[in-house]
Amino acid sequence: MGVGNEVSPPMHPLRGILLTTTAVTLFVVMTSFIKAAPGIPPGEAVFFRSAFSLPVIVIWLAVQGQFPHGLRTRNWKGHALRGVAGSLAMGLGFTGLHYLPLPEVTAIRFATPILIVLFAALILGERIRLIRLSAVAAGLAGVLIVMWPRLTFSGGEGALFGALATLASATLAALAQIFIKSLTSVERTEAIVFYFALTASMLSLLTLPFGWVWPSPEEWAFMIGAGLFGGVGQILLTASYRYADASVLAPFTYVSMIWSLIIGYVVFAEVPTVPMLAGAALIVAGGVAIILRERQLGQRRIAEAKLRAQTRTH
């Protein structure tokens, strides 16, 4: 993810990879905290996840000497659109956790990078060639395989609702990423992260009349932990892009699938099914293919730009 008006530090890919894998691990732990408190409504969980990450983000900015000027913005509309899409995605994702195993939710959410390609074509006018189109098709086929038992009412109507909510979450997350892509050309990463947490905190309050509950001591611990882990994870993920290109780091986000399988089995006694594993493998394969293709196209564009620059100088 690019950052407007920032000086890029030297690239250290291994450091970037370490930060990314740590971040996605924290995100899985955060998600596990949400799942471990099923009595907390999704809207309330969004509030805790967002509001308790704000102090972490502010402290991070202050340590870097970026507070408050690092929060200046020229695109309130862009932040609002990203905030609404991202908040809905988070709430629907938390809803899915109430009905589905953790690894299944993670697998369906992996549809996000695949759907980004489709939205980039529809909204940004980017061209999709055969390789990426094939990867998208493979990924969507994987989503269908994961969801098929739910579409046939295996697990009941609640599981079907959870699967559809999770797919909607992945779709809105992809849309949010498109908005972020537009924001990064003029906005700092710090501002994007902060205003999303702030927007999500405020929007989640709209669900207050729909059954918020007073958490038990254990639920307080889980909810505060979700906010803190989510905030630290967001900071580490943001920092990782300072040391390596997104195309290098993106494949390592799939480490979350491994952690989801482990935590789902050990903590929640969730045994993965063959369709879920097969579909997840297909989704990951499609996502990695898209990532590799994007990296190849990026390198080609850089080479062409250098060639044009050399041509102009001669």
- Number of domain units in the chain: 1
Residue 1 lies in a domain: no
For residue range 232-259, list pLDDT tens digits in order: 988 888 788 778 776 677 778 888 889 9
pLDDT number for residue 165? 96
Residue 7 lies in a domain: no
Give alpha helix (H) positions in the chain.
13-35, 42-51, 54-63, 76-97, 102-109, 112-123, 130-151, 157-183, 189-204, 217-240, 246-249, 255-266, 274-313
Cis peptide before 68 (omega within 30 of 0): yes
Residue 166 lies in a domain: yes
For residue range 170-192, list pLDDT tens digits in order: 999 988 888 887 787 778 777 88
Is residue 4 pLDDT above 50, yes or no? no
Give me the domain span that covers residue 43.
13-313
Residue 168 lies in a domain: yes
Q: How far is Cα 8 from Cα 230, in angstroms, rounded to an integer?
A: 25
pLDDT number for residue 183? 81
Residue 5 lies in a domain: no
Q: How far is Cα 30 from Cα 261, in angstroms, rounded to an integer?
A: 15
Mean pLDDT, the chain, rounded, equals 85
Report residue 9's pLDDT band, with 50, 70 and 90 as the boundaries. Answer: low
Is residue 210 pLDDT above 80, yes or no? yes
Residue 179 sits at the vertex; the CA angle it makes with 202 and 4, to the nearest 5 degrees, is 100
Residue 165 lies in a domain: yes
Residue 72 lies in a domain: yes
Residue 86 lies in a domain: yes
